[in-house]
Amino acid sequence: MVASLDLTLSGSWKGRGLQNIKAAEIGAEGIGKRFGSFAALDDISLTIGRGEFLTLLGPSGSGKTTFLMILAGFEPATFGRLTLDGRDVTKMPAEERAFGMVFQGYALFPHMTVEQNIAFPLKVQRRSAAEVRRRVAEMVEMVGLGGHGHKRPAGLSGGQQQRVALARALAYEPPVLLLDEPFSALDKNLRGQMQDEVRRLHRETGTTFVFVTHDQSEALALSSRVAIFDHGKLQQLASPQEVYERPANRFVAEFLGDINILPLTDVAPDAAGACGRFEGGVIRAAAGAGCVSGLLAVRPEYMRLSEAAPDGNAVCARIDEVIYLGAETRLELRTRGGIALTLSVATAALPQGLRQGAEIWAGWPEEQGFFL
């Protein structure tokens, strides 16, 4: 029911010219946060472009939420400078920044109806009664809650409550919308729907979105750029494709999904990139950067199976486990030297007769291997 509503509404909403002209650019210069002697954030510098969808991704305790709270103005930064469209806002309190916020627990006002919740920021801005009514009606429709306007939050499902929170945060066209793990309390299917919803709202409002999550697939699916945090430091800031396929370091590579890491010996750069040796065979990589470490990384989905040694990069390994996951099948392999490998193969393309204990070759294209 919800999905069909989404389709009709997104269709009717498009092209109404409600693009947010106020979308702002945020600059962070050397932002740091200390709690006593503990550095929660260390020297974060980045620029969030006008209308961008930036995701702050990292494990819990990585500093991503602290950074969001500093952006919102709820936490003061210990060091550094924050700018909004070039203006210094480092010391500006949260209520003056007035960025929209969406929280994990929805944070709706329980004593107000859906419509009153959405009207709250508009009334704070002293918009006229007629405009408040019009805008609330628009927002209720926009998030697919027509007919629920007079209910209180307690009478709504989790997904509906999060839609109210989104509508409330976007109603007054804030220059920036901050979302703090908004979907982590929702189940998987609902989460997918809400991700579609957020992507659509971003496209239609044109507001700058800053989204915090610890879920890599959510980050990759939603963002125009991903900022990866660990131990209070910014590890990499790049497009989803780039952070996934060209991670800046081993942490980023491992955090963004499964990865096979092969320690090569006798690594040397050559004309086409670099080459080295692994368990008696020669392995080549198209990019030579970082080859001094000798650690070659390959994503599981780029590895192909074959019965006999193929041309190009390949290693011989024994099958430890075959795990059927529906659309894809996961293979756990172990090389002769005892290095564990993971492969992810489309079930439809799986060779017949794979047995545990059998020996097999895993190969990959040169350009899909990169050094960490």
Partner 1 sequence: MSNATRTFVLLGPLLAFIGLTYLVPFLGVMRWSVTLPEPGLGQYQAALSDPLILSVLVRTLRICTLVTLFSVLAAYAVTLIWVRGSPAQRLAIELCILIPFWISVLTRAFGWLALLSNRGILNEWLQSLGILSEPLTLVRNEFGVIVGMTHYLIPFAVFPLASAMRNLDERALMAARGMGASRARVFRNVFVPMTAAGILGAALVVFVFALGFFVTPAILGGGRSVMVAELIYLYIFQIPNWGLAAAVSVILMVAVGVLLALLMRVMRPPVPR
Quick one: residue 24, left, alpha or beta (phi over 0 = left, psi -120 to 50 = alpha)?
A: beta
Q: With respect to partner 1, which residue has the nearer C-beta, 116 or 217?
A: 116
CB 72 within 8 A of CB 95: no
The rounded distance, in Å, linking the Cα atoms of 100 and 115 is 17
Radius of gyration for the alpha carbons in the chain, expressed in angstroms and rounded:
25
Task: Kindly state the smallest distance separating residue 182's Cβ from partner 1, in Å.
Answer: 11
> CB of residue 82 vs partner 1: minimum separation in angstroms?
15
- Minimum Å gap between C-beta 153 and partner 1 is 9
- Closest CB to partner 1 among residues 64, 97: 97
In the bound state with partner 1, the residue whose beta carbon lies nearer, of 172 and 364, is 172
User: Residue 110 Cβ, how far from partner 1 at the closest point, in Å?
Assistant: 7
Q: How far is the CB of 329 from partner 1 (least distance, A)?
A: 42
Euclidean distance between CA atoms 262 and 293, whole angstroms: 11
What kind and span of H or E run contains 191? helix 188-205
Residue 320 identity (one-letter amino acid): D
Residue among 165, 193, 161 at smallest CA distance from 178: 165
To partner 1, the closest distance from the beta carbon of 323 in angstroms equals 39
- Summarize as ranges the residues that interact with partner 1 (CB under 8 A): 72-74, 94-101, 103, 105, 107-112, 120-121, 124-125, 151-152, 154-155, 165, 168-169, 172, 174, 178
Token pair of 36 as six digits: 């006593």
Q: Which one, 118 or 345, has the nearer CB to partner 1? A: 118
Spatial contact of 57 and 214, defined as CB atoms under 8 Å apart: yes
Count CB-CB contacts under 10 A for residue 258: 14
**CB closer to partner 1 out of 35 and 109:** 109
Token digits of residue 4: 């069909």
The least distance separating partner 1 from the CB of residue 105, rounded to whole angstroms, comes to 6
Give the angle 172-123-11 at the CA atoms, nearest 5°. 35
Cα angle 270, 272, 275; round to 5:
50
Looking at the Cβ atoms of 178 and 194, the one nearer to partner 1 is 178
* Minimum CB distance to partner 1 smaller for 95 or for 311: 95
